Amino acid sequence: MNTMLLKKSIREALPLFLACVVALFAFAWVRVWVTGLFEFTEVQEILQRFKRFERFSPIPFDQLASYEGRVAMTYDEPIVMLCVVIWSIARGSDIVSGELSRGTMEMLLSQPIRRITLLKTQVLVATVGLWGIVLSHFIGVACGIHTVSVLEAPPSPVPGLQILGALVTPENRPEPIAVALSERVQAITFIPASINLAAFGFLVFGLAAIISCCDSFRWRTIGLTVGIHVLQLVLFGISQATDRLAWLGWLTYFSAYQPQELTLHSAKSNLDNWTDIWGQTDALLAILGVGMLVVLGGVFIMVGRWQFNRRDLDPPF
């Protein structure tokens, strides 16, 4: 690994990395804090009112009403996905077309540096940075879990009295009590979801990298990658809207991003017994989806490496 290249890549990536780390850490903590503002029964009532929109939810409303499901929704928030996608596209587009657009590629390759060394350095910095960004999000979730309290209805002093809950009016409803969220949820439960988020970012990075290795203009590389990403998002949204077009979901990489399913299975098994995964189709597909994201991202990078090694690097003008 060339030290000069490594320092150059880190210096160029550091501002965006720090911005994403701070944003995701703060957002994850605040998002978990918001989870504790609503009483558990209130969340159930809200979800029942919007039951007909359940098809647009990544998980069934019954599971979403659980603490694990509510916290896991943090991984589907637009700002989380946006930060990961921005990092992946920014670093992937900079590999070849970025250097060509700035006019620095000729200066780099005039040194005793192999093309493969240049590519490996960029991939290493992007991958380590991606894991750092995902880790900051996970730490934010963990900090939220250990500092936030949730509101729950007090336990009934008389066993079986809860069946009369329908007779309780707002005037005589008992005051909710605060319970530490860490008593209901374990931060370790969300490790599989974080791995899924990192795998998703790695695929987007691989997509941007292969386009960058084939193009000479960074703005065009970014445009093509964003266009493909938006098209994938539109197809996935259509697949969720109606059962007749559900097959479109299998054509998108968004179908392989299922942090909620991984979280719920992790909560049931407590990360101690995953041997029963073969009997749970949804959880098995979610795990296979993580592997598919990683494999596809790696394939994109390898194809981009082949194209980078054989192409003539003409200046972008």
Higher pLDDT pick, 231 / 310: 231
H or E segment and range at residue 309: helix 281-310
Task: Give domain status of residue 58, yes or no.
Answer: yes
Residue 11: which domain range? 3-310
pLDDT at 1 over 70: no
pLDDT of 201 above 90: yes
Q: When comparing pLDDT for 283 and 29, which is higher? A: 29
Average pLDDT over residues 89-98: 91
What pLDDT band is residue 286 in, cutting at 50, 70 and 90?
A: confident
pTM, entire model: 0.84
Best CA proximity match to 240, nearest among 221, 258, 259, 255: 255
Q: Check whether 153 has a pLDDT greater than 90.
A: no
Res 169 pLDDT > 60: no
Q: Average model confidence (pLDDT) for the chain?
A: 81
pLDDT above 60 (res 117): yes
> In this structure, is residue 317 part of a structural domain?
no
Number of domains in the chain: 1
pLDDT attached to residue 99: 84
Q: Is residue 47 part of a domain?
A: yes
Express the helix, strand and coil content of the chain in percent, nearest 5 each: 80, 5, 20
Sign of CA dihedral 93, 97, 100, 101: negative
Is 133 a member of any domain?
A: yes
Average pLDDT estimate for 197-217: 93
Q: Residue 163's pLDDT band (boundaries 50, 70, 90)?
A: very low
Instruction: Tell me what pLDDT residue 148 has.
Output: 82
pLDDT of residue 164: 45
Least confident of 149-163, 190-204, 210-224, 300-314: 149-163
Q: Could you tell me if residue 231 is inside a domain?
A: yes
Total residues found in the chain within this entry: 317
User: If you count DSSP H runs as helices and E runs as strands, how many of each does the chain have, helices first?
Assistant: 12, 2
Q: Looking at the predicted structure, is the pLDDT value of residue 166 above 50?
A: no
Parallel/antiparallel/unpaired status of strands 177-180 and 149-152: antiparallel
How many whole angstroms separate alpha carbon 247 and alpha carbon 244?
8
Domain-embedded: residue 11: yes
Tell me whether residue 315 is in a domain: no
Domain-embedded: residue 15? yes
Q: What is the mean pLDDT of residues 191-200?
A: 93
**Mean pLDDT to the nearest integer, 191-197:** 92
